Amino acid sequence: MFPTDFLKTVPKTPGVYMMLDKQSRVLYVGKAKNLKNRLTSYTRFSGTDHNKTTVMLTHVRKVDTLLTNTEKEALLLEASLIKKHKPKYNILLRDDKNYPLIKVTIQDEWPRVHMTRRRKEDGAKYFGPYSSSSSMWATLRLLANMFPLRKCKGSRVHPRNRPCLNLQMGKCLGPCVGIAEPSHYMDQVNKVIMVLEGKNRSLVRELKEEMKKAAEKLLFERAAELRDQISALSRTLEKQIIASSHFRNQDVFGYKKQGTSVAIALIFVREGVITGSRTFFINDPVEADTTILSQALGQYYGIKNTPVKEILLPFHIDDETILMEHFSELLGAAVSLNVPQRGDKVQLLQMANSNAAHVFDEKEKKERSWQGLSASMENLLHLNHIPNHIECLDISNTSGKQAVGSLVCFKRGEAAKAMFRHYRIKTVSGPDDYAMMKEVLERRLRRGIEENNLPDLFVVDGGRGQLGIALHVADMLGIREDLDWIGIAKDKNTIGEKLYKPGRKNPILLKGHNPVLLYLMHIRDESHRFGVTFHRRLRAKASIASDLDKIPGIGKDRKEKLLKHLGSVKRIRNASINDLKAVPGIGSNTASTIHNYFRK
């Protein structure tokens, strides 16, 4: 029940409040211009028993308050606390898909351009996300052909006696062999950034001016190079969708509410050209539409995503003035939040709203697809439960060493990566896969019983033997009938798969193109991939330890610095004394010790 005693001491000032449950977990973070009035309103709230706010208030046992001097401070503190605690009843802005990004490592001495799927606070510039991976790769190919930056991996360029093939093909300026001029190299990097920021027209103007100057100085090879870059950029401009006759930078937000869920779409317009989009899905939020969109903007814009000068919205939102002030500080220029009524801007807004509505269409399509697949699984595999929650276990080891169990989880046809788990084997020594499987299954299922989150279907990677081990553990824990069990193993006589089910003498054989078999194979292969990737990391760690840990004077801190600075044990082994001395924390004596150790 929502507590009321604390209200006597709550002041009528701006601030932030956190609602906590009996385990002191943060359920909800909110802000208010007047804390006392806002919190008192919860005591008068009346809604149906199934209303999400009603349900939340029944779990609140304590409310903490943090006072601020201004509403703006409250807004920023609220966003920070939501990001930190990820409360169950707040909106959390997550991409509807895991879109790829393009990363420019401007923090490196010789930056490079490559694809990534994860943003890090490492000083690099990130562009995207790209809703189409093919368009992202096309952009990378264009940049590689136009601007000859290095392709080699790692943050540092290691000196080479002979350059790689990229230099000979004119696709690299050759920093590794010392022939690249830093100023010219960084000029190419800045032009890459202009392309990725959508400033193609500005870049074309710059390149034309450079070409004219090169021709006047009789630098015809340079002029020809610039001519080719202008031609490539012009072809790209022809393919781009023109959003308006002006050349402004705009972010356009679309909004669609269906039932209790909300979809938000964002369209990027750079210099009048649509350069990309993103979508977000929020399931059953407790706030009003004006608050939801306001919080979404507050969460989206920050250090990673700098606002643009004009942001178009489908309706007016809470805290518009405060947000404009905050975004203007982030950008270093005036930012406006506009709700357009006519012209090109309304058409852009309609496009963004259509994209938001399309999120629901896609989810409905996926749901229909899953319902058909799950019905087929129930029928073909004779299951007792609808397989909405499926888990699969894989064991990876090398002759019993670095043994690890890998568990993957799929819900309603999609990977639930937050529930993927690695298990280090604790009780088994030597290559005994059955004993390892028994240990991991027992650990997973015991916890599942305690937390009431057992799967509907458990898939075992293996045949009758592995399935027998799983059923033995289930019998021991008394949950055999609580879920369905399937073993999947490759048929030695054919290229197909066999499915083993408890109580059935012969395996279930499905045709190779059957959607049920393909789905189960996908789950099994994902568990194998997840396990092998982790197992390789363990082997690599063991290999690193066996080399560096034997060197006198090299502890954990110095080992980490060496690997971070030089990139790998191989590079440490081949490094000169001067290279080693360049590593922070490595003096002349230590550098000589490392160098001499590997030379022996």
47-63: per-residue pLDDT in tens? 776 778 888 888 898 99
Specify the pairing of strand 414-415 against strand 62-67: unpaired
504 burial level (CB within 10 Å; 0-12, 13-18, 19+): exposed
436-473: per-residue pLDDT in tens? 889 889 999 999 999 888 999 999 988 888 899 999 99
Tokens of 590: 């230590």
Q: What angle do CA 171, 174, 141 make, to 5 degrees?
A: 25
pTM of the model: 0.68
Fold (CATH) for 389-539? Nucleotidyltransferase; domain 5 (3.30.420)
- Predicted confidence band at 247 (pLDDT cuts at 50, 70, 90)? low
Measured CA to CA in angstroms, residue 126 lies from 56, 109, 144, 197, 490 at distances of: 37, 17, 17, 10, 43
Domain boundaries, the chain: 5-85, 101-158+165-239, 250-359, 389-539, 549-599
Q: Is the pLDDT assigned to residue 292 strictly greater than 70?
A: yes
HSE-up (13 A, CA, CB side) for residue 426: 7
Fold (CATH) for 5-85? GIY-YIG endonuclease (3.40.1440)
Tokens of 236: 């790209």
Q: Residue type at 325?
A: E
418-442: per-residue pLDDT in tens? 899 888 888 877 677 788 889 889 9
**CA 204 to CA 374: how far, in whole Å?**
54
181-190: per-residue pLDDT in tens? 899 899 889 8
Q: Is the pLDDT assigned to residue 236 strictly greater than 70?
A: no
- Predicted confidence band at 137 (pLDDT cuts at 50, 70, 90)? confident
Least confident of 37-41, 257-261, 418-422, 489-493: 489-493
Residue 587: the pLDDT is: 84
- Predicted confidence band at 541 (pLDDT cuts at 50, 70, 90)? low
Q: What angle do CA 440, 506, 373 make, to 5 degrees?
A: 70
Cα 412 from chain centroid (whole Å): 21
- Predicted confidence band at 238 (pLDDT cuts at 50, 70, 90)? very low
Average pLDDT over the chain, rounded to an integer? 84
> Are 250-359 and 389-539 in the same CATH fold?
yes
User: In CATH, what is the architecture of 549-599?
Assistant: Orthogonal Bundle (1.10)
Give the three-class secondary structure for 366: helix
User: Does domain 250-359 correspond to CATH entry 3.30.420.340?
Assistant: yes
66 burial level (CB within 10 Å; 0-12, 13-18, 19+): middle
Q: Residue type at 380?
A: L
Top mean-pLDDT range of 145-149, 215-219, 374-378: 374-378
- Predicted confidence band at 546 (pLDDT cuts at 50, 70, 90)? low
**CA 376 to CA 20: how far, in whole Å?**
43
